[in-house]
Structure 1
C-alpha cells in the first residue's frame, strides 16, 4: 500500500514518521522549501523522554504527484484545507481514499464534494505534539492514536486494507464502526476545552479555580452537547466521562493546540472548531451564547493578526 501524508507538521509528521519507521511505503507532500529540508535532514522528532530521532523520509512536491496512491492521510490545519485539497488532487486515482485528520466536521463536505463519498473516510487523531521553531516535531505527552472509517457503504479501498496499512506502527490504530460519532465526540470535547481556555486565556485548572469557573466550563460543554444531540450525535458515555475528568479539573494545566496557537501569535482554527459549532446550533435552534462569545473573541484575534 502506497501512503501519501499531506503535511509534515505536528500531526502528519508524527504519524508519518512512525509509519516510515515501521517500514511502510510513505511519501510526504510538502512545499518545495520544506521538501529540501526533509531531503537533507529528514524528520526530526524530539520525544517526551528527551531523545532526538532523525527519520529519513521521502518528500514530494505537487509537480511530482501521480495518481498512484492507495491512502492519502490529510493532516493540515483547517485554514489550509482548500489549498491542501487542490494540492493533493493529483495523487487521487480510481483506487485512492483520502483519510482526513482534522478537527470538527466541516471538512467532510469539502472532501466529498471534490472526490466523492466513496473516496473519503472520516478520521480522528489523538496525539500530544507541537511543531518546534526549526520544524522539528516535539512530543509534549504520551499519546498516539488514529481512528478511521469509511463515510459510505462502498469505499474504493476497503477498511481492512486501510487498517493493515496503518496498524502496527508504534501507535494505536483502529477502525470505527461509526466514524461520524467518533468525530463528533472529539469535536464536542475539543471545542469545549478550546473555547474555555482561549476565551479565559488560561489552562483549564486555573479557570476552574476562579470564582464562577466551574459553572462557566460546565456551561460551555453543555452547549456543545446540545448541538451534537440536536445534530443526531449525542455524546457517548466515554466522552462525557472524559469531560467530567478534564473539563472540570481544578489542578492541571490542560489546554489545547488552539490555546497554544492563540498565546503564541499563530493562526487559530476558530472558524472550523468554534464558529461551525455556533452556525450549526443557530440552524438547529440551539442557543450557544458562550460559544458565540468565544467565536467573537477568536474572530477579533484573527482579524488583528491580518491587519
Structure 2
C-alpha cells in the first residue's frame, strides 16, 4: 500500500516518519523550502517514545507526482486546504482513499466536494508536537493517537487494509465505526479551549484562578448543544472529561490557536469556531445527522469568542498591509 503524506510538519512528519520506521511505503509531499531542509538534515523526530532520524525520506514536490497513491494522509492547516487539495490532486486515482486529520468538520465538506464523497474517510489525531527552529519534530507528550473509519460507520476492506499497515508502527492507531462521533467530541473540546484561551490570552489554570470556571463551562455547554443539534450529542465520558479539563486548577493547557495568536500567525477561526456557530442554525451539511427543526438558542459565549478571533484577524491583516507598504 502506497501512502502519500501531505507535508512533513509536526503532524505529518511524526506519523509519516513512524510509518517509514515500520517499513511502510511512504512518500512525503513537500513544498520546496521544506524539501531543501529535509534533504540537508533528514527527517528528525525527538520523542520520549523513541528518537528517529531518517536521513533521506522519500519525498516529491507537487509537480513531480506522476501516479495515484492508495492513501493520501492530509494534516494541513484549514486555511491552506484549498491550495493543499490542488497540490495532491494528481495523486488521487479511482481507488485512492483520503484520510484527513484536521479538526472540525468543514474540511470534510471541501474534500468530498473536490474528490468525491466516497473517497473521504473520517479521521482524527491526538498528539502534542511542534517543529523546532531546525525543522525537527518535537513530540511533547506520550499521547500519539490516530483514529479513522468509514464515515457511515460500516466495516470496509479498505479500512481493514489501512489498519493492517498501521499495525506495528510506534503510534496508537485505531479503526472505529464511531469516527464522526469522535470527531464531533474532539471538535467540542478544541473549540472550547481555543475560544477560552485565545480570548483570555492565558492557559486554563490562570483562567480558573481568576474565577473563570463559569465562562469555560458556558463555552463547553454551547459547543455541546450545537453538536447535539446536529445529531452528535457528546457521550457521558466525553462530557465528564471535557468539563474536568476546561476547569482544571493549575492546568497549563492552551490551544494551538492561542499559540498562533501569540506569535502573530494565521489562525483557523472560521474552521474551528465560525463553522461550529454556523451549525447552530442548520444540521444539513456533510458530517451532520438530521437535527431538530428549531435552532439552538443563541450561543452568546461562543459568538463573543468568534468576534474576538475575527478582530485579531482584521488587525493582523492591517499590520501585514502596513508592513508591505513600508517596504
Q: Post-superposition shift, 1:153? A: 7.7
State the alpha-carbon separation in 2 of the partners of residues 141 and 52 from structure 1. 13
Query: Structure 1 residues 136, 305: closer, same or farther in 2, change over 3 A?
Result: farther
- Establish whether residue 24 from structure 1 lines up as the match of residue 35 from structure 2: no
Query: Structure 1 residues 157, 36: closer, same or farther in 2, change over 3 A?
Result: farther
- Aligned counterpart for 2:295 among listed residues 273, 285, 291: 285
Deviates more, 1:55-64 or 1:220-229: 55-64
State the alpha-carbon separation in 1 of the partners of residues 61 and 120 from structure 2. 22
State the alpha-carbon separation in 1 of the partners of residues 314 and 58 from structure 2. 37
Q: Is residue 153–residue 178 contact of structure 2 (8 Å, CA) maintained in 1?
A: no
Structure 1 unaligned runs (5+)?
A: none
Q: Is residue 95–residue 156 contact of structure 1 (8 Å, CA) maintained in 2?
A: no
Q: Partner of 1:306 in structure 2?
A: 317
Superposed, 1:114-125 pairs within 5 Å as 114-125=114-125
Deviates more, 1:290-299 or 1:61-70: 61-70
- Establish whether residue 164 from structure 1 lines up as the match of residue 164 from structure 2: yes
TM-score, reference length from structure 2: 0.89
Post-superposition, which runs of at least 4 consecutive aligned residues in structure 1 deviate over 4 A? 152-157
Q: Is residue 153–residue 177 contact of structure 2 (8 Å, CA) maintained in 1?
A: no
Structure 2 unaligned runs (5+)?
A: 283-293, 319-327
Q: Post-superposition shift, 1:306? A: 2.0
Q: Is residue 122–residue 151 contact of structure 2 (8 Å, CA) maintained in 1?
A: yes
TM-score, reference length from structure 1: 0.94
State the alpha-carbon separation in 1 of the partners of residues 38 and 83 from structure 2. 21
Superposed, 1:219-238 pairs within 5 Å as 219-238=218-237
Q: Is residue 126–residue 143 contact of structure 1 (8 Å, CA) maintained in 2?
A: yes
State the alpha-carbon separation in 2 of the partners of residues 154 and 230 from structure 1. 23
State the alpha-carbon separation in 2 of the partners of residues 242 and 168 from structure 1. 29
Q: Is residue 65–residue 90 contact of structure 1 (8 Å, CA) maintained in 2?
A: yes
Query: What is the root-mean-square deviation of aligned Cα atoms in Å?
Result: 1.8
